[in-house]
Structure 1
Amino acid sequence: MISAKSVKPEVMVVKRNGIEERFNINKLVKSLMNAGLDYDKVNLVIEKICNNIYNGISTKELKNLVYKALKEIDKDVADNYKYENCLKVRTSEKQFEPFNKQKIVDALIKETGADVEIAKKIADEVEKIVKKLEIKYLTAPMIREIVNAKLIEHGLEELRHKHTRLGIPIYDITKLIKSGSRENANLMHNPESIHKWVADETMKQYALMKIFPRYIADAHMRGDIHLHDLEYAAVRPVCLQHDLRPFFKYGLRVDGTGLHTSVSKPAKHPEVAIQHAAKVMMAAQTNMSGGQSIDEFNIWLAPYVRGLSYEKIKQLMQMFVYELNQMYVARGGQVIFSSINLELEVPEFLKDKEAVVAGTTRGTYEEYEEEAKMIVHALVDVMLEGDATGKPFLFPNTIFKLRENAFEDEELMIKIHQLCAKFGTPYFINMLPDWQVNNTNAMGCRTRLSGDWTGDAEVDTLRTGNMQWYTINLPRIAYEAKGDDDRLFEILRERLELVKEALLIKHKVTMERLYEDGVMPFLTQKFDGEEYYRYDHTTKTFGFVGLNEMLKYHLGEELHTSKDALKFGERVIRYMREYADDLKEKTGLRWSVTQTPAESTAGRFARLDMKYYREEAKTVVNGDLSDIDSLYYSNSSHVRVDAPITLGEKLRIEERFHPICNGGHIMHLWNIESAADPEVLMSITKKITKTNIGFWAYTKNLSVCEKCRMAMGGLRDKCINCGNENIAKFSRITGYLQNVSNFNKAKQQEVKDRRIVKIFED
């Protein structure tokens, strides 16, 4: 029973417009019931209100009294009462609050720099629209969309651009949850990767709308150029080549500060040194977007294994390999994209350097050549065995440097080529050509550092890396040039200018993240007063895709069919290199040219060119024209993967470009199954070291039965042991081995097209 005993006589309430009206207890009861208050609690609220009400109270004060009384009983009912008779907004903080047009005014001024009058005008018009909507509540994104529509209506496109909201449609998130993405074959479909893909899409949008100016973003969207790693453009550089000595001397802080994680003293025991080597790459991948690599891996570890048996060293290498293949912690739920550069002899530039071990030094590295070789022997033995099911270890990428005395240890070289023949995992750096210098290393797929930047091999090749590479669509330049050589080089220069500006923007942004915002503390931690990451020595790199198709359209000939085409192709890439070298002189930054890995870019460019230049592109593109997702361009300056040529011809063509591409290069020998004899492969390696090929790999396709786990050479559809048709197929996608089912459709088509070159001339 509702009581009004406590209501004071003649209590008047002052409304917003100043008019007074008598307090109406029945009206209050109705509001309480509408808000969802239980009937048996209504009297309790009424008593509280009547004890505090006074003559001349305003409606606002009365509502506050009621809200406070309700909040003590039921917060949800209190909120329902508070927002009764007003349009409610569900905010990004997952709360409801009344619609307030002043928030629109404030947001426009703060986010876009709009002047007050324009902001108020837009807010007034939005208020009129939302008040006409027959809905229970608005959302903050919905209001933002209406505001943006009004900004466009008034011709305020720049303000709209700054005010827009980034995100991903519900449909697209559902699709990622159900099917995943194949943009990066190293990413498995799991909860972590789903979160990464959703976050990536938002950060890509941010980069295109905030980091890069419209004309650069549009050039990327059209496919004139490709801005790689857009999801990381605002926050990370790409590849890093590690030096283990600072950690072996001073200890390990995986967060860079030691404030958030435990701090390790310098490793005293080899097992701890191995763990620290793996953790260095694990820690750095939180700061970098690309490959983590350790140069001189076996040299740094050699002092730690002195006096150990070969069996113990092999166990240590097994520990390291399993660490890198089972630390499922990298970006989006993947193993670390890791590489190690290995020496078959102590290089000249390290021979007299103090050997660091357990926080001190013990002699020089020249004294540990035998231990360094034992590490390589042991590591290759571990890689040859494969994992517990017989599969190859996909990481780390093992990169062998071939210097003057490489073939003196024939046993080791045979063993390395047995690994090539069995799994196709090794890579080789040819250190013998005249254009190579004291040290060269590779990170990830092929990005390269060389000791010819300052002339100091350590400064040029250790604790630094590739800041970023961006890629030019070469076939499109040919389509636009319409056969005119001069016009072709004019357009090429325009594209180079675009990429240069994009790289300079990324350079500035990365500097801000490193030194102003401090978001990469692992990289900026100091040893002996010097920051670990030598950012000043990172490369800013021009990439390219589709030289072969450019030549095919522009000249009617391909790299392997015409000496004139090869000569013209060399002229194109040399033009890029000269442009980069000129920038070095002008800016003091380290510019280079690379053969882009193009895991997704080769297909993306082909698809976009079929959209915008269909008549031109269909005459040169590779793949099935009836399936646009299968189309692709040849990678960088490589010959077409199904070109009917011998190994000698392939070498003579592709070696022309390796000295020019100082930021990274590779030659692939695909599908070596039929020639996978260690002796044959070693004879090929000897021949290659006499050429200008700087970096190469033998790709052995492999199939593993998912039932009996039998490993078989080649890409098979059926197990030769048990007949099972569920087969995991492995091949090299660009610069690393991975399950073919994870490849995008363009790369899957390329795998089908790849052919083995003839090892011997006819």
Structure 2
Amino acid sequence: MTSKSLNRGLNIVKEAFDLRRLEREYLGKLDWEVQENANMYRSFGSFIDFLLDKSIKRTEVISQILPPGPVEMHFKGDIHIHKLPYSLWIPYCIGWSYAKILLKGLNTPAVISKPAKSFQEAFSQLVNFFFLAAQEWTGAQAVSALDLFQAPFVKSSKLKRAQLKDILRMMFFELNYPSRMGFQSPFTNITLMMDLNRSLLEEAAIVGGKVKGLLGDYLDEALLLDEVLFEIYTEGDDRGQPFTFPILTMIVSKNFDWNGRRWGELTELIFRNLSERGSAYILNGYVTNFESLYAMCCRLTIDVSKLKETLPIELQTLKGFYQTEDFGKRLRCRGIWALPDATGSIGVVTINLPRLSVLSKGEWNVFEELLSEKVSAAREVLLRWRERYEKSLKEGFMPITLQYLGTLSNHFNTVGVVGLPEAAANFMREPKLWAEGSFKSMLEAAAIMKRMIRCIRERVEEFEEMDGFLYNIEEVPAESTAYRLARMDYSLFKEDVKRGDVFIPSHNGVPFYSNNIVPYYADVSIPDRVRIEGDVQQEFTGGVMMHLFLAERPDPKALKNLVYRIATNSKVVYFSITPTISVCRSCGWNAIGVYDRCPKCGSEAVDVWSRIVGYYKPIRMWNIGRLADFRTRKTYTI
């Protein structure tokens, strides 16, 4: 090593560990990444997380572990490698087999807990399981059919409604405490099944680690639990603020009780909640086989029907709880619960589509060549990640995952996209498409978006054959990615943007990219938005999301009719109803809409809550790019 290169290396190390500078940046919020994630709170733990991020997330450091070519692309803004630096060691998101947790109890390296026998114990074990596993995954954790699996405990514990509500409220508070790395709340998701999956009702109910009849034997208790859950989601915390976690997914299908004939008050509670809080994401069972489509987090959905072809033989022939029927039949009947263990995504590498569109200048052959190069780079990272995560599992970095999952064979390699509508506009050379374009032009853009996603899908299907691993494509939430990449592209194409030749959306000079199909800054009617979104969503294999942002509280009956029409008359797979909520921190007053001052007590300490990407947080906690996105959103009145 020459003295020149040695000095350069020492300067890099000195810059990376300039603690006084990093401390000033954190305390003064001089770096936008101090608040890149709205799930972060100012604290010593968050500061340590910031130090780690700034010390490791550097080209010369990351290249020691990940392939140098893709790493260079990341720091240039061609792609985005998610969840650095933690993703160097641990994977992204996981859907746990709740049946397995109930069978095993909570076994940790420190203490061993037998399988839960009471309702309170069952929820306590689940909450603590989430806390423990959050140390081993960078993103979301999920359990499905929470209502059905908990219902037997409601009956065996002989709980009254008030007692049930107290225990469930305790769970909500505990899951929202910032207890994971970086002083964040664990990112948790639950799915409620009600009585929609008939085959699931024939599965074993588990109490105390033993089978106690069938889940369908406890349907009344499950529906009671659903009622109480929706009550709590609607009420919020003691100040009237919405609970951020656990994120809730519900399913609408042909068996959904739209008129309350089976569910009674529950149906009314669901749509009251959607009109006041918008707590639940809606998975559309009319256009998907929801029994084999599992909601992983705020938008990632996993089609477990693909897993049958890749499951190792030993997993398909396990004895005991999971070997009571033909594997293929069980897979079709109940999706994720047919699997010996759960699935998810090992990680995501996102392609900066708008940049490729600008560079291709509307030439598809050029675009396809650039896209192929970036998708291949994503593959390199995903394969290296998988190799390292298998090592982390083997070397004891993930003791909970090793025991309750055991393998990453059922996890997908995920390629993400961001800025899809901006990519289409720039490819068409129509920078004003989403502001002034005709609906016909927007349909042309939809066709281009579909072609882009189809191109990626064809490539990753080739990778599946070559690598022997599952791949999928996700429209990523891009909480910080959308700003980071737009900011870099604005710097790269600044003169073109000023001339109006290149389109990068912005507000007050702050650029951002969209994380959806029809951008939320586009003044498009609900029917037109639904039509385009549904058409393009069908091309994805990982996850998408359509939000409908509301300006005021709708009539619950009118909202129910809208949800029904979307579910039955469109191809939209996954969507949310998102009212904007204002909450006074002084007196607790809250209402739908944006308020700067509390009309009750006059205080200006009013928080405006909305979904930043997939979860509710006050906009004062959002990063600068997402705030720009919020200021440009078009809202609807129903």
**More displaced 10-residue stretch of structure 1: 452-461 or 352-361:** 452-461
The answer (yes or no) to whether the contact 1:281–1:336 under 8 Å persists in 2 is yes
1:677 partnered with 2:531 = no
Residue 715 of structure 1: which of 590, 594, 615 is its match? Answer: 594
C-alpha spacing 1:573/1:608, structure 2 compared with 1 (3 Å): same
The answer (yes or no) to whether the contact 1:541–1:594 under 8 Å persists in 2 is yes
Q: Report the equivalent of 1:320.
A: 171
Q: Report the equivalent of 1:667.
A: 546
Q: Aligned partners of 2:251, 2:61: CA distance in 1, in Å?
A: 38
SS for the counterpart of 1:216 is: helix
The answer (yes or no) to whether the contact 1:581–1:591 under 8 Å persists in 2 is yes
- Give percent identity, aligned residues only: 26
SS for the counterpart of 1:418 is: helix
Q: Report the equivalent of 2:400.
A: 522
Q: Report the equivalent of 1:393.
A: 243
Residues 538-574 of structure 1: CA deviation (Å, up to 9, x unaligned): 1111111111111211213447543222212111111
Which one scores higher on RCO, CA 8 angstroms, separation ≥ 6? 2
Q: Report the equivalent of 1:445.
A: 298
Matched residues, number? 591
Q: Aligned partners of 1:147, 1:169: CA distance in 2, in Å?
A: 23
Query: Within 5 Å, which residues of 2 pair with 1:4-19?
Result: none
Residue 571 of structure 1: which of 438, 451, 456 is its match? Answer: 451
SS for the counterpart of 1:192 is: helix
Q: Report the equivalent of 2:275.
A: 421
Q: Aligned partners of 2:290, 2:578: CA distance in 1, in Å?
A: 27
C-alpha spacing 1:461/1:669, structure 2 compared with 1 (3 Å): farther
Residues 602-656 of structure 1: CA deviation (Å, up to 9, x unaligned): 11111111111223445311113x63xx2111214x2121212111100000011
**More displaced 10-residue stretch of structure 1: 169-178 or 688-697:** 169-178
1:581 partnered with 2:581 = no
The answer (yes or no) to whether the contact 1:421–1:673 under 8 Å persists in 2 is no
TM-score w.r.t. structure 1 length? 0.74
Q: Aligned partners of 1:169, 1:276: CA distance in 2, in Å?
A: 40
Q: Report the equivalent of 2:344.
A: 465
The answer (yes or no) to whether the contact 1:449–1:461 under 8 Å persists in 2 is no
1:692 partnered with 2:571 = yes
1:311 partnered with 2:162 = yes
Q: CA deviation at 1:657?
A: 2.4
The answer (yes or no) to whether the contact 1:437–1:452 under 8 Å persists in 2 is no
The answer (yes or no) to whether the contact 1:414–1:682 under 8 Å persists in 2 is no
Q: CA deviation at 1:151?
A: 7.9
Q: Aligned partners of 1:711, 1:427: CA distance in 2, in Å?
A: 22
The answer (yes or no) to whether the contact 2:26–2:50 under 8 Å persists in 1 is yes
The answer (yes or no) to whether the contact 1:292–1:337 under 8 Å persists in 2 is yes
C-alpha spacing 1:462/1:400, structure 2 compared with 1 (3 Å): farther
1:532 partnered with 2:405 = yes
The answer (yes or no) to whether the contact 2:132–2:400 under 8 Å persists in 1 is yes
Q: Aligned partners of 1:585, 1:677: CA distance in 2, in Å?
A: 50
Q: Report the equivalent of 2:488.
A: 608
The answer (yes or no) to whether the contact 1:594–1:663 under 8 Å persists in 2 is yes
The answer (yes or no) to whether the contact 1:593–1:663 under 8 Å persists in 2 is yes
Q: Report the equivalent of 2:99.
A: 245
Query: Within 5 Å, which residues of 2 pair with 1:350-361?
Result: 350-361=200-211
SS for the counterpart of 1:504 is: helix
Q: Aligned partners of 1:551, 1:168: CA distance in 2, in Å?
A: 42
Q: Aligned partners of 2:611, 2:593: CA distance in 1, in Å?
A: 12
Structure number, greater radius of gyration: 1
Residue 225 of structure 1: which of 79, 83, 90 is its match? Answer: 79
Q: Aligned partners of 2:556, 2:634: CA distance in 1, in Å?
A: 20
Q: Aligned partners of 1:633, 1:274: CA distance in 2, in Å?
A: 39
Residue 176 of structure 1: which of 8, 26, 51 is its match? Answer: 26
Residues 494-547 of structure 1: CA deviation (Å, up to 9, x unaligned): 1111111111111111111112x221101001xxxxx52441111111111111
Q: CA deviation at 1:235?
A: 1.2
Q: Report the equivalent of 1:643.
A: 522
Q: Report the equivalent of 1:197.
A: 50
Q: Aligned partners of 1:445, 1:294: CA distance in 2, in Å?
A: 13
Give structure 2 stretches of 5+ with no counterpart. Answer: 309-330
1:632 partnered with 2:481 = no
C-alpha spacing 1:460/1:684, structure 2 compared with 1 (3 Å): farther
C-alpha spacing 1:351/1:168, structure 2 compared with 1 (3 Å): farther
The answer (yes or no) to whether the contact 1:606–1:617 under 8 Å persists in 2 is no
The answer (yes or no) to whether the contact 2:196–2:253 under 8 Å persists in 1 is no
Q: Aligned partners of 2:113, 2:196: CA distance in 1, in Å?
A: 29
| RMSD (CA atoms) | 2.3
Residues 404-445 of structure 1: CA deviation (Å, up to 9, x unaligned): 211256232221121121122221111221x43523222332
Q: Report the equivalent of 2:477.
A: 597
Q: Report the equivalent of 2:414.
A: 541
SS for the counterpart of 2:397 is: coil
SS for the counterpart of 1:391 is: coil
Q: Report the equivalent of 2:378.
A: 499
Equivalent residue letter for 2:81: L
1:270 partnered with 2:128 = no
Equivalent residue letter for 1:269: S
Q: Report the equivalent of 1:95.
A: none
Q: CA deviation at 1:188?
A: 0.7
Residues 657-701 of structure 1: CA deviation (Å, up to 9, x unaligned): 22221211111101x133522112111111121122111111111
Residues 679-726 of structure 1: CA deviation (Å, up to 9, x unaligned): 121111111211221111111111112222211221211111122222
Residues 106-137 of structure 1: CA deviation (Å, up to 9, x unaligned): xxxxxxxxxxxx6xxx6xxx7xxxxxxxxxxx
Q: Report the equivalent of 1:655.
A: 534
Residue 556 of structure 1: which of 417, 429, 441 is its match? Answer: 429
Query: Within 5 Å, which residues of 2 pair with 1:248-263?
Result: 248-253=102-107, 255=108, 257=109, 261-263=110-112
Residues 375-405 of structure 1: CA deviation (Å, up to 9, x unaligned): 1111111122221122111211111122321
Q: Report the equivalent of 2:7.
A: 149
**More displaced 10-residue stretch of structure 1: 317-326 or 435-444:** 435-444
SS for the counterpart of 1:598 is: coil
Q: Report the equivalent of 1:335.
A: 185
SS for the counterpart of 1:562 is: helix
Residues 8-54 of structure 1: CA deviation (Å, up to 9, x unaligned): xxxxxxxxxxxxxxxxxxxxxxxxxxxxxxxxxxxxxxxxxxxxxxx
1:735 partnered with 2:585 = no
Q: Aligned partners of 1:431, 1:549: CA distance in 2, in Å?
A: 30
Equivalent residue letter for 1:518: G
C-alpha spacing 1:617/1:495, structure 2 compared with 1 (3 Å): farther
Q: Aligned partners of 2:340, 2:547: CA distance in 1, in Å?
A: 24
TM-score w.r.t. structure 2 length? 0.88
Q: Aligned partners of 1:756, 1:535: CA distance in 2, in Å?
A: 41
1:454 partnered with 2:310 = no
Equivalent residue letter for 2:140: G
The answer (yes or no) to whether the contact 2:554–2:637 under 8 Å persists in 1 is no
Q: Report the equivalent of 2:324.
A: none
Q: Aligned partners of 1:475, 1:348: CA distance in 2, in Å?
A: 44
Equivalent residue letter for 2:276: K
**More displaced 10-residue stretch of structure 1: 219-228 or 411-420:** 411-420
SS for the counterpart of 2:271 is: helix
Q: CA deviation at 1:164?
A: 9.5
The answer (yes or no) to whether the contact 1:207–1:230 under 8 Å persists in 2 is no
Residue 623 of structure 1: which of 506, 530, 545 is its match? Answer: 506
Q: CA deviation at 1:183?
A: 0.7
Q: Aligned partners of 1:591, 1:368: CA distance in 2, in Å?
A: 38
1:216 partnered with 2:70 = yes
Q: CA deviation at 1:178?
A: 4.0
Give structure 1 stretches of 5+ with no counterpart. Answer: 1-117, 127-145, 153-159, 526-530
C-alpha spacing 1:236/1:725, structure 2 compared with 1 (3 Å): same
